[in-house]
Amino acid sequence: MAEDRLDIDMKTLEDDIDQQQVEFEGEVEDERYLFAVQYSVLEAISATIPDGDALAIFKAHTDEIADAALVALGRDPDSDTIVISEDDLE
């Protein structure tokens, strides 16, 4: 999937504080998917612990998150929610 491109729907961003993740929808090759990026990923790419500003961190690092999301999608394409973890960072 490395050649694919993820288009993140920024209108769907939701900070799930209880699950410590930001959820969003994205499209790859006309297929829509639900993703969740863990706070630990946001911390790893920004060197900042999300503390009420997870959406701002997400928006500042959308390219890196999109790349990691494609890795996560390739790992588990049939999941209802594609969870992006630190293992998906390149």
- Check whether 4 has a pLDDT greater than 90: no
**Number of structural domains, the chain?**
1
Q: Is residue 20 part of a domain?
A: yes
User: Is 14 part of any domain?
Assistant: yes
Residue with tokens 């890795």: 71
Which CATH number fits the domain that encloses residue 33? 3.30.160.140
Query: Is residue 80 a part of any domain in this protein?
Result: yes
Q: 16-59 pLDDT, tens per residue?
A: 999 999 999 999 999 999 999 999 999 999 999 999 999 999 99
pTM of the predicted protein model: 0.93
2 located within any domain: no
3-state DSSP assignment of residue 90: coil
pLDDT at 83 over 90: yes
Judge whether 1 lies within some domain.
Answer: no
Report the alpha-carbon distance of residue 10 to residue 7 in Å, rounded: 9
Residue 32 lies in domain = 7-88
Region class of 52: left (phi > 0), else alpha (psi between -120 and 50), else beta: left
- H or E segment to which residue 24 belongs: strand 21-28
Does residue 16 contact residue 83 with C-beta atoms inside 8 Å?
no
